[in-house]
A and B are shown apart, each in its own frame.
Chain A
């Protein structure tokens, strides 16, 4: 009687495992795929070497003057030289501690909000933080004679700092108005609904640049003589007017996603409209909209570069401005590439964050 024993299984063929197997499976699985892979490799061969050469291998990182750099490759010491300009604009050097301190405060506030997550009274604490934060930010950046902080006029603000300020103010200021517009659009009161729809669709139909043009040349004409607006303030008003319409649409999406039963239940237990919205509908609607609000912030951050057209020195405008330095002529490409990389990194991180939020808030598994 023979006893059946399992044979030792043979290892998979060489062509199916390891690097070779992976390559066959993912790159050369069919004739079409093989041709495509070769094309892609050829494309990479065309693009990558010159790009890497320009950016890294041929580039100069330590030159002191423009003459020491080559024409053929990047001259990153130019960026090093102008770094403060890119980050703070014309903000006085001895006052750099103020934006730096503000950044530290911002990060620690964000950290505190995370710590407070499971504490009682966390809502009140967070609300307080949100109310005192803009005040601190304003006094730190702009200054105040009474507090003994030197005033720095907004025409000296610039660079990445200004980009972040404009985008943040835009999103924060447009949020409450956006909520009202979204509610107005959902309202059963026809006049209010009409006014909200008219505003939202009007703004969404025109490019931001025309709104910026409008606020920069027309705004003072709409107010009584003597009321004058700071250039930055005008840009902020324009951006807020613009962003409000988009935020309203995002929040409307959230409102529509709240199940109808929630509205009915709130009505059934006799809540007033305000109570229904504040305690039942908005908390749910806003939670649903958070990923899209972050998305909207990303779009705003991208649009912020447009303020350059009305003469405000955000980071991109600095890249243009810095080329006027006769010591560093012909280094515009480096400036644009550097700004692109910085803004790209910020936006990429934010979009990752938005995706993560979407997963976290997705309660329908």
Chain B
């Protein structure tokens, strides 16, 4: 009677229906309880809270924000801070990671041992501990604003953070940016043109001076034509604190420092693995063919090493972005700190807020994975069918 159950196709359909039913039941149970509980506890729902006044101040905001701004503005401030921390962290982590990765392969015993010790120490300490450590270290060791560390009387570093002169752009600067974009475009054209020439005639010409001219010369020229449309707002000490200038808090510095140091250990390992993955014979063959050291590196070794190293590095960028959410622990105003923290406590609409936060991180992750997939597609070994 139940013989039809032995048919593979029937079983497949049956199993899938059961799976969908289970998921649907769990979802139904959760959502109906959710609705009931929301009614019972009198929690508001919907996204109306985004428009109401936030009512709290945020120390670091890169867009206009006051306590009178809406919760949506607070969300944007948090989002922009998260992205800022991630980008700056990614830059520092990459630089540090590349240096450490190369240092580990050095023939110099001391240098490679130091790099190894660095990796072993910082990789095996949880990132949250490192963030708290650097933050605590800054709080106990930095001087008060009156005794700040000064650099050329324009950069100040103290307990309240680090102050840089802030460039203020006038309207003419718009044209400088246009000129720069144009320069990038011209630079691509130059590359295309000389590559074509190289393909058809075999003559390889020096092109870096053209690139320099279009990328740097053109914007600089426009900059001077418009009469240097930038002036600097210098930080100056007023009373107990500095005013003006571009300001980064100790929370921000501790976060960037910890994220870079931690992620650099993984990046360095990826770099090392990439370089070690290239067979020694490749280098010897390239040199035997008469390529110079630089050419060997550029055309033979690096393309192969990067193919192995870049995917894990991009994954680390993703991890760094996700780890930046730990800012909440030291009170830096990132997305989680501002939105899932302060706004959630004030409004109490946990569902909407946490779903929005998750959606943001998911989008960032998907964007980074998309970048990774594009890269993998671009560097795939062409003609290899697999």
Contact = CB atoms under 8 A, between A and B. Distances in A.
A206 interface: yes
9 contacts: A26-B110, A33-B108, A36-B106, A205-B361, A206-B361, A305-B126, A306-B326, A309-B329, A316-B132
Contact of A344 (B29, B121, B323, B326): B121
Contacts of B354: 210, 213-214, 217-218
Given A206-B322, A217-B344, A29 B33 contact: no
A218 B351 contact: yes
Q: Which 7 A-B pairs have the closest CB atoms?
A: A26-B109, A205-B365, A207-B322, A347-B124, A302-B126, A191-B16, A217-B350
B36 A225 contact: yes
B357 interface: yes
Interface in A44-72: 44
Contacts of B357: 210, 213
Nearest to A211: B358
Given A340-B133, A347-B125, 17 more contacts: A26-B109, A27-B108, A37-B111, A40-B108, A189-B16, A190-B16, A204-B365, A210-B325, A214-B354, A217-B344, A221-B350, A225-B40, A305-B126, A309-B326, A336-B133, A343-B125, A347-B124
A128 interface: no
A304 B358 CA distance: 20
B323 to A, nearest CB: 7
B51 interface: no
A77 B273 CA distance: 43
A332 B136 contact: yes
Interface string A321-337: 00000000010110011
Contacts of B329: 308-309
Interface string A178-219: 000000000011111001000000101111011001100110
Interface in B352-372: 354, 357-358, 361-362, 365-366
Given A189-B12, A207-B325, A305 B23 contact: no
Interface string A248-267: 00000000000000000000
B14 to A, nearest CB: 10
A20 to B, nearest CB: 14
B328 A218 contact: no
Interface residues of A, number: 55
Contacts of A207: 322-323, 325-326, 336, 361
Contact of B125 (A29, A223, A224, A340): A340
B1 interface: no
A284 interface: no
A222 B133 contact: no
B10 interface: no
Given A306-B128, A308-B128, A213 B336 contact: yes
A336 B133 CA distance: 6
Q: Which of A189, A210, A220, A304 has the most CB of B within 10 A?
A: A210
B98 interface: no
A209 B114 contact: no
A135 to B, nearest CB: 27
A271 B16 CA distance: 22
B362 A206 contact: yes
Given A27-B110, A207-B323, A344-B125, A333 B140 contact: yes
A301 B125 CA distance: 10
Interface string A343-358: 1100110010000000
B19 A348 contact: no
A43 interface: yes
A344 B350 contact: no
Contacts of B231: none
A188 B12 CA distance: 9
A318 interface: no
Contact of A209 (B124, B132, B336, B350): B336
Interface in B37-80: 37-38, 40
B84 to A, nearest CB: 17
A303 B110 CA distance: 32
Given A340-B125, A344-B124, A224 B33 contact: yes
Contact of B358 (A29, A206, A225): A206
Interface string B102-129: 0000111111001000001100111111
A41 interface: yes
A43 B118 CA distance: 13
B379 interface: no
Contacts of B133: 333, 336-337, 340
A281 interface: no
Nearest to B362: A205
Contacts of A302: 126-127
